[in-house]
Amino acid sequence: MNKHKSIDEILKKVNDVKILHKRERRIRVDVAADSLTTVLELLKGQASFVHLSAISCVDWIDDGEFELVYHVWSYEENCLVSVHTRIDREKAKFVSVYDLYKPADFFERDIYEMYGVFFIGSPRMEKFILTEWHGIPPMLKDFDSESYVQNTFNWTEYNPDWLQELEQQGGGIAIKPEEIRLSGELHNMSTHRERDKKKKQDNVKGWKS
Amino acid sequence: MKKELKIKEKSTERTNPLARVFDDFISFCQSKSLFMLHYCTGCGAIELPPAMTSRFDMERLGIQPMVTPRQADILLITGYVSVKTLKRVILTYEQMQSPKYVIGICSCTVNGGMYWQSYATAKKLNEYLPVDVYIAGCMPRPEAVIEGLQRLKNNIKNDRKEQKGSAWKDYFRRYDYYLGNQQHLFGDDWQTPTDIIAEAKLYGLETEETYGKHTDQLLKIQKPLLPQEMKVRMKP
Amino acid sequence: MRPENYQAVQLGDSNEYEIFIGPNHPGIEGNYAFRLLLDGDTIVKGTADAGYLHRGFEKLMEGRLWIQNLALVPRICVPDPAPMEVVYSMAVEEIMGIEAPRRAQWIRVMQLELSRVAAHLFTFGGHAATTGMYTPMFWGVADRDLVLDLFEEFTGGRVYSIYNIPGGVRRELPDGFLQKLSHLLDYLESRQNDYDNLLFTNQVFVKRAKNTGTLSKKDALELGVTGPNLRACGLEFDIRKNDPYLVYDELDFEIPTQQHGDAYSRILVRRDELFQSIKILRQVIEKLPSIDGPIRTTIPNPLSWNVKTGEAYARVESSKGELAYYVVSNGKDKPYRVHVRGPSSMHAVQTLEHLAKGARLEDVAQIMFSLDACPPEVDR
């Protein structure tokens, strides 16, 4: 655990850093957006965190913020540091870390496509995976994939002859797939139970009358 | 939903009394030697190497992989088709020479499969291309793939009696329908280098449904393909 | 609009011309395209063109239950699906603060190593086929099928097993399974000589593969290369040893390395790794019967299961390199965000572009297969 303490000391120089030792070999660091590059530079320069494992983006739509998470790994310290920072959702601009980590090229381009965050200084801010896509960035929480699919495609429902026969006799599927698909929230078990209860009550009523 | 089509094809009356025998013989031969272009559009491609190599051995049925579309008879679509891939699949399909057959492997080509929710994949393959045989499953085992290929072979062999092995003709007969679906997905300026309408005329497969508002749209924007100017400059 | 494919030949003022490889090309692994700028048959610049396999996995996972996503994740990498479900389960377990029982952890190790064996056998065949040798492909695929048979027996699925759940594994091993596994390992070991003679010491192959696609250690570290490709450059690093998960710290195995960083070194590392995996599996056969206990901990009703708020970054060593999942939960029944870091997203884009520069046209396929790139991991 000595090594991990040294990381604490390195990052002391930066203002507003929260360091959390989550478990062995995992450290979470929260910084303000301004000092993110400083933190990564310090980590790379003084503690040899040379491997950028990933950059993840999380869309916190209720807070109006994007969270960017830089996962860096040190081959010498054998430790993974996740540096968290938050940026404004409306502005959606941030500085690139390409000059520090070359793999950032791929991840930043990916986030640019999927979330629309522009990275200043990243070499290839262009479409890569979604070249045939013309809508809003699809990973945003505003984008409703299901309704887009409903409006664009039609797919074959599974409706074989034996099921149609059953339905004519008054049976069939208890919860139709459309009901699960189209309701915004998942059709969870409680409603299923309520429905069963209702059915039972109806049965009881019918029996009584 | 397929309607009964009024086909104004060229007269199909055959004067030779042995025509039927020859037709049957030709379709028998066709069914025994099929070259297959497997487009690895998705996960189903992983079950093809076992099906093709020594354990399940597709070659004993007379089916061999082929690497170019122009020499291939079967287009094997192995798995979900994303919109970006679908464009290339259609280009590949139109480059193939008739008669040509399409097999859709995996549930995703039937109705979207487990990606029904996805914004990036096309759901029903037979809206964009005429499909001969579907092999459902996620993913179908090599035995199922071979079973499907057997069925295609039988369809080709008995085509004169059952009319099941000529889905490719449907692409010419109802080109407007297929083009409409393609335009819906790719935009109105969608154009391929192959002139399907001219080919339909050539094969004598024009029907009323070959034309429609979608083909009108295509004719409006279609530019004739001109050979590219060749310039070769040698190094000084 | 005419698709981009049809402007394939660009004749400018220079001698350079542009050609496309893929997406439907026998020399490309999967559905992936590569745009090359050539001078003669030397590559001036290569540009990767991905997205043909894009399904929007991360979006799909946000719309499904925690337990439903287990059916989705193995589809991200088809040749080596087992690490996907294990790493997803590990991430969820870390958020939940639960731990799989010891027996489940041993079974997971067995599943991971079997999957690695299958994936490596498949890669040998693919790599050899790019140099024009088709017999190793037939052998590799046939031997891989024997592993898939075992998978089918103990998980029920040939390729996609969907065997793990957060908190353990689904089913107990069938009777006499370890015996069968032992026989398979004997068989694979007996094949070692055959493979060496046919492929690894065959001069036809060696001459093509040596000094092709050479990656220096410095470049490899800079480009984020991981897994066997990094070990082929001489760095002794393996997540199983250096960031151990499951019970790998109790197992005895070595990290095979090579020094040159070319295509031949990479396939040799994979060959050695295959036999290290067999060594691990032998230990599992020895240990597993003595470990009793449940195969999973109790978890709440999976259909109304709210994972508590939190985030986790779980990573494992898949057969291709470092595979990691970043999972965020906001206390609902569905994940708030899942980010997949596939190893090939580094190998197939930037590293391939880097290695293609200056290579010859006929070597592109070999370089791609020697990196063992898996396009669905790039596109997701």
Interatomic CA distance for residues C313 and C324, integer angstroms: 7
For chain C, what is the radius of gyration of the CA atoms? 21
Tens digit of pLDDT for each residue in A140-151? 888 888 788 877
Residues C44 and C101 in one domain: no
C19 touches chain B (CB under 8 A): no
How far B50 CA lies from chain C's nearest CA (Å)?
6
Domain presence at residue C313: no
For chain A, what is the radius of gyration of the CA atoms? 26
CATH number of the CATH domain containing C168: 1.10.645.10
Q: The tokens of C10 are what?
A: 């660009």
Contact B79, B105 (CB under 8 A): yes
Provide the domain limits for residue C260: 94-298+343-374
Whole-number pLDDT of residue A202: 54
CB within 8 Å: C60 and B118: yes
- Decide if pLDDT at C358 tops 50: yes
Q: Exposed, middle or buried: residue A165 (CB in 10 Å: 0-12, 13-18, 19+)?
A: exposed
Tens digit of pLDDT for each residue in B87-131? 889 988 988 888 889 998 888 888 888 888 888 888 888 888 899
Contact C321, C273 (CB under 8 A): no
**Mean pLDDT, range C189-193, rounded to an integer:** 89
Q: The tokens of B56 are what?
A: 């399940």
Whole-number pLDDT of residue C3: 44
Sign of CA dihedral C102, C103, C106, C112: negative
CB within 8 Å: B228 and C122: no
For residue A30, list its beta bridge partners: A18, A84
Whole-number pLDDT of residue A177: 56
Tens digit of pLDDT for each residue in A82-122? 899 988 888 888 888 888 888 898 999 889 988 888 888 88
Sign of CA dihedral C148, C150, C155, C156: positive
Interatomic CA distance for residues B19 and B25, integer angstroms: 10
How far B85 CA lies from chain A's nearest CA (Å)?
10
Domain presence at residue C319: no
Tens digit of pLDDT for each residue in C4-36? 444 445 555 667 778 888 787 777 777 888 888
In this prediction, residue C185 has a pLDDT band, given cuts at 50, 70 and 90, of very high
In this prediction, residue C326 has a pLDDT band, given cuts at 50, 70 and 90, of very high
Q: Which of B117, B124, B184 sits opposite A156 (nearest CB)?
A: B124
Domain segments of chain B as ranges = 19-165, 174-222
Per CB-CB distance under 8 Å, the chain A contacts of C223 are 102-103
Domain presence at residue C303: no
Residues C26 and C136 in one domain: no
Q: Which of B84, B124, B186 sits opposite A131 (nearest CB)?
A: B84
B vs C: CB pairs below 8 A = 107
Residue limits of CATH 3.30.460.80 in chain A: 2-143
Domain presence at residue C309: no
Per CB-CB distance under 8 Å, the chain B contacts of A154 are 123-124
Interatomic CA distance for residues C25 and C27, integer angstroms: 5
Residue recorded with tokens 């699925």: C157
CB within 8 Å: B88 and C79: no
Residues C23 and C99 in one domain: no
Contact C233, C225 (CB under 8 A): yes
In this prediction, residue A38 has a pLDDT band, given cuts at 50, 70 and 90, of confident
Contact C180, C94 (CB under 8 A): no
C341 touches chain A (CB under 8 A): yes
Look at residue B210 and give its three-state secondary structure.
helix
Q: At what angle do helices C135-155 and C177-190 cross, to 10 degrees?
A: 170
**Mean pLDDT, range B66-80, rounded to an integer:** 87
Residue of C nearest to B121 (CA): C55
Domain presence at residue C111: yes
C301 touches chain A (CB under 8 A): yes
Domain presence at residue C10: yes
Which of C:263-292 have CB within 8 Å of B? Answer: none
Alpha helices in chain A (DSSP H): 2-11, 36-47, 104-115, 145-152, 161-168, 177-182, 189-208
Percent of chain C with pLDDT over 90: 11
Tens digit of pLDDT for each residue in B167-206? 888 888 888 888 888 888 888 888 887 878 888 888 888 8
For chain B, what is the radius of gyration of the CA atoms? 19
CATH number of the domain at B19-165, please?
Answer: 3.40.50.12280
CB within 8 Å: C141 and B49: yes
Number of domains chain C contains: 2
CB within 8 Å: B116 and A154: no
Tens digit of pLDDT for each residue in B2-49? 455 555 555 556 677 788 888 888 888 888 888 988 887 888 888 888
Interatomic CA distance for residues C320 and C342, integer angstroms: 9
Domain presence at residue C144: yes
Q: What is the ipTM of this complex?
A: 0.86
Whole-number pLDDT of residue C97: 86
Residue recorded with tokens 């487009």: B39
Domain presence at residue C311: no
Q: Output the CA angle B19-B24-B28, nearest 5 degrees.
A: 150
Whole-number pLDDT of residue A183: 45
CB within 8 Å: A154 and B124: yes
Sign of CA dihedral B30, B32, B38, B43: positive
Per CB-CB distance under 8 Å, the chain B contacts of C6 are 193
Chains contacting C with at least 3 CB pairs below 8 Å?
A, B
CB within 8 Å: A130 and C221: no
A152 touches chain C (CB under 8 A): no
How far B209 CA lies from chain A's nearest CA (Å)?
22
Buried b (16+ CB within 10 A) or exposed e, A115-154: bbbebeebeebeebbbebbeeebbbbbebebbeebeeebe
Chains contacting A with at least 3 CB pairs below 8 Å?
B, C
Kindly report the three-state secondary structure assignment for every residue of B4-28. CCCECCCCCCCCCCCHHHHHHHHHH
Give every CB contact of residue A90 below 8 A, 6+ residues apart in sequence: A64
Q: In Å, what is the CA distance from C323 to each residue of A53, B41, C26, C116?
A: 9, 23, 27, 13
Whole-number pLDDT of residue B48: 85
Q: Which of C59, C315, C378 sits opposite A145 (nearest CB)?
A: C59
CATH tag for A2-143 (out of 3.30.70.270, 3.40.50.10490, 1.20.120.1750, 3.30.460.80):
3.30.460.80
C242 touches chain A (CB under 8 A): yes
Residue of A nearest to B124 (CA): A155
